[in-house]
Amino acid sequence: MASEASQDGRAPRRGGHEDHRRGPNQGRSARAPRQQREQTRPARNPRDHRRANAEDRGRSPEIDPEVTGKELDKQAASQLGTLTENNRTWVSKHLVMAGRLIDIDPALALEHALAASRRGGRIGVVREAVGLTAYAAGDYAEALRELRTYRRITGDQSHLPVQADCERGLNKPQKALEIAESGEAQQLSGAARAELAMVVSGAHTDLGDLEAAVLALEIPELDINRAFSFSPRLFAAYAEALEARGRDDEAQTWRARVPVAEKALGIGTFAEPEILDFDDEPADLPTVKDVLGSAATKDSR
């Protein structure tokens, strides 16, 4: 089985999202105490309907002390160039924290993205971060609003599968199908098309059309002899759809290909473990706390 890299360019799960530890906030400005800055923040714009601008918005979450904001990838960082230096640093740090936390604490990741949005809400990568963290946290209405705005700002269509899945999450499978039938969605290929196909299959299942659920997954990316990053999930989804139609033998064939694809990609049960060997090490061995901390950091990258 040939192994090929993913073709998608998905975001802040991009944007520097890699270590998930929390710690005291050292990203605050030294110009004034926090309470004073809270009292002097700009008045709320009633025409701004973002959750980040809600009247009951809370304080920004803590930033890990080692985060500088420079961990943000170059493409994302370049979009922040229109901000003042102080705002750019603030937004960068919260975007990094949002990326670090999205897989282990989506709700907290969303709070970091919202904090970034309060100072950088006109910037595409910031709205993308809010949309994706809201999606991960299960706040589908917020995710849909933010990703629509991101799409208007940037013209990027790559998150149409996420928007469609948000509609499913809001119990609107027909809306999900309408997104999939749009001209922009029809232009998707590779990973984005595979993601959309899985959403569309689920929407058809929601509507009770099991045959359409099978057909939706029969796309060029469904290749039993090739492994892309999305292939294990695509194979599993196809097997499940076939099984729902009573095509058990075919379902078993595709389900058996899931571990084959994972092995080719080196993911899932075939991912390389982090092995720590302390034999013949000097006397100043790391403590258990040190080992667990570094392993957690490594695993999150």
Q: What is the pLDDT of residue 150?
A: 97
pLDDT of residue 80 exceeding 50, the answer is yes
Task: Place 40 in a pLDDT band, splitting at 50, 70 and 90.
Answer: very low
Give the lowest-confidence range in 44-58, 68-82, 112-126: 44-58
Q: What is the pLDDT of residue 271?
A: 79
How far apart (Å, rounded) are the C-alpha atoms in residues 235 and 261? 9
Q: What is the pLDDT of residue 275?
A: 56
- Per DSSP, 3 falls in state E
Quick: pLDDT tens for 144-153.
999 999 999 9
Task: Place 207 in a pLDDT band, splitting at 50, 70 and 90.
Answer: very high
Give the lowest-confidence range in 7-21, 121-135, 213-227: 7-21
pLDDT of residue 33 exceeding 80, the answer is no
Q: Where are the chain's structural domains? A: 10-156, 158-270
- Please give, one letter per residue, the 3-state secondary structure of 60-95: CCCCCCCCCCCCCCHHHHHHHHHCCHHHHHHHHHHH
How far apart (Å, rounded) are the C-alpha atoms in residues 179 and 185? 7
Q: What is the pLDDT of residue 269?
A: 80
More confident residue, 171 or 58: 171
Quick: pLDDT tens for 134-145.
999 999 999 999
Q: What is the pLDDT of residue 268?
A: 84
Query: What is the share, in percent, of the chain residues with pLDDT greater than 90?
Result: 68
How far apart (Å, rounded) are the C-alpha atoms in residues 91 and 126? 8
Quick: pLDDT tens for 184-205.
999 999 999 999 999 999 999 9
Q: What is the pLDDT of residue 174?
A: 98
Task: Place 14 in a pLDDT band, splitting at 50, 70 and 90.
Answer: very low
Q: Which amino acid, one-letter code, is at 292? A: L
Per the structure block, which two tokens stand in for 164? Answer: 């469609």
- What's the chain's average pLDDT? 81
pLDDT of residue 5 exceeding 90, the answer is no
Q: Which residue has the tokens 């993308």?
A: 128
Domain formed by 158-270, architecture:
Alpha Horseshoe (1.25)
Q: What is the pLDDT of residue 54?
A: 53
